Amino acid sequence: MRVRTLLYLCRLGLKNLWHNRVYSAASIITMSACIFLFGIFYLAVANVDALVQKTERDVYVSVFFDEDVLPGRVDEVGKLIQDRPEVLRIVYVSAEEAWSGFKEDYYGDGEVLDGIFKDDNPLAASGSYQVYIDGADWQEDFVDYVSGLSGVRKVTHSADTIRALQQIKSASSRLIAGSAAVLVVISVLLIHNTLAVGIEAQKEKTRVMRLMGAREGFVKIPFLAQGIVMAVAGVCIPLVLLLVSYRWGTGLAVPGLGIYAGQAGLLSEAVVFPGLVRASVCLGLVTGGLGGASVMG
């Protein structure tokens, strides 16, 4: 087929698109709405996931020692812990640091305690290791291991927090998978319907084209061009809207809600959007392909 003919057929597809502009617009808007909703789920889940990962990294296990433990044993235990593959890093907090941190956390400038404890340290036996674990899944096993070591008095960990985080992570993953599945079904049905209406409206025209000797490619290329334009618009429009909304949302959330990057910062566009674009294009291709196939079938 000549390039000139191909261009003519593409133009014909665009003409058909304009001719059936109400159906075309309805289809593009519906697809955009589906992908926009999917994008909102995606952004929410990506941010929750990042928050969960950050929290997992920040949560640590505290290992306390018997009061009469020898300093050498503390170092040995530290080395044993350091050698564990799931351990990211380990920080020793001395009894003085523990008391100082406690006072700062609970009594601020510490004026209220003036003259009460003086040189006495109520946390004298509270020298400990803070152990940061790579992923919450390993924490329970690690705690079992460390608890069994001699010289270790107590091991504290946030098992409930970790379980809650894991549940959030799992629920958010199910949410995105479920929402994507529902949106794919809705989009497939709508695209099927729009294409079927378009084909029905053009049925007589395609019949005449065939009677005039037009080959299958000649008849189908305008529909293909029409479908591509609709799919591109249906993917690009929601992505632009999502980008604008996300910028606006992060601009509003950061100063307004007191969320700052150090604690629970939202992911930047550069981090989250490449994945979203890939997922949306895949969603568009899957829905367009399935919708088209269902019409052809």
Partner 1 sequence: MVFQDFRLFPDFTVYENVAFAQRVVEADKKVMKRRVMEVLSQVGLEGKARCYPSRLSGGERQRTALARAVVNQPVLLLADEPTGNLDQKNAEEIMRLLEKVNRQGTTVLAVTHNQELVKYMHKRQIVLRYGKVVRDLAREGLAYAR
CA dihedral in degrees (175, 177, 182, 183; nearest 10)?
100
Exposed, middle or buried: residue 37 (CB in 10 Å: 0-12, 13-18, 19+)?
Answer: middle
- Do residues 128 and 62 touch, judged by C-beta distance below 8 A? yes
Q: Which is nearer to partner 1, 8 or 102 (CB)?
A: 8
Eight-class DSSP state of 109: T
Q: Which is nearer to partner 1, 163 or 203 (CB)?
A: 203
Q: Which of 4, 22, 83, 296 binds partner 1 (CB under 8 A)?
A: 4
CB under 8 Å to 295, separation ≥6 — which residues? 192, 195, 196, 199
- Window contacting partner 1 (CB under 8 A); options: 117-125, 202-210, 250-258, 281-289: 202-210
- Do residues 152 and 77 touch, judged by C-beta distance below 8 A? yes
What minimum distance in Å lies between the beta carbon of 25 and partner 1?
18
Identity (one letter) of the amino acid at 29?
I
Q: Which of 7, 15, 201, 263 binds partner 1 (CB under 8 A)?
A: 15
Q: Which of 14, 177, 181, 208 binds partner 1 (CB under 8 A)?
A: 208
- Do residues 87 and 81 touch, judged by C-beta distance below 8 A? yes
Does the protein bind partner 1 through residue 204 (CB under 8 A)? yes
What minimum distance in Å lies between the beta carbon of 8 and partner 1?
6
Lay out the sheet containing 60-65: strands in order across.
87-93, 128-133, 60-65, 152-156
**Residue 293 corresponds to which tokens in the numbers above?**
């196939």
Q: Which of residues 27-46 bind partner 1 (CB under 8 A)?
A: none
Farthest-apart Cα atoms in the chain, separation: 105
280: nearest Cα among 178, 183, 200: 183
- Window contacting partner 1 (CB under 8 A); options: 100-108, 167-175, 206-214, 223-231: 206-214
What minimum distance in Å lies between the beta carbon of 202 and partner 1?
10
- Window contacting partner 1 (CB under 8 A); options: 4-12, 94-102, 189-197, 268-276: 4-12
Tell me the per-residue interface mask from 220 to 259 with partner 1, x by CB under 8 A, - otherwise: ----------------------------------------
Does the protein bind partner 1 through residue 212 (CB under 8 A)? yes
- Window contacting partner 1 (CB under 8 A); options: 79-87, 213-221, 231-239, 256-264: 213-221
* DSSP codes of every residue in 205-272: HHHHHHHTT--HHHHHHHHHHHHHHHHHHHHHHHHHHHHHHHHHHHHHHHHHS---HHHHPPPPHHHH
Does the protein bind partner 1 through residue 196 (CB under 8 A)? no
Does the protein bind partner 1 through residue 94 (CB under 8 A)? no
Residues that bind partner 1 (CB under 8 A): 1-2, 4-5, 8, 15, 19, 204-205, 208-209, 211-214, 218
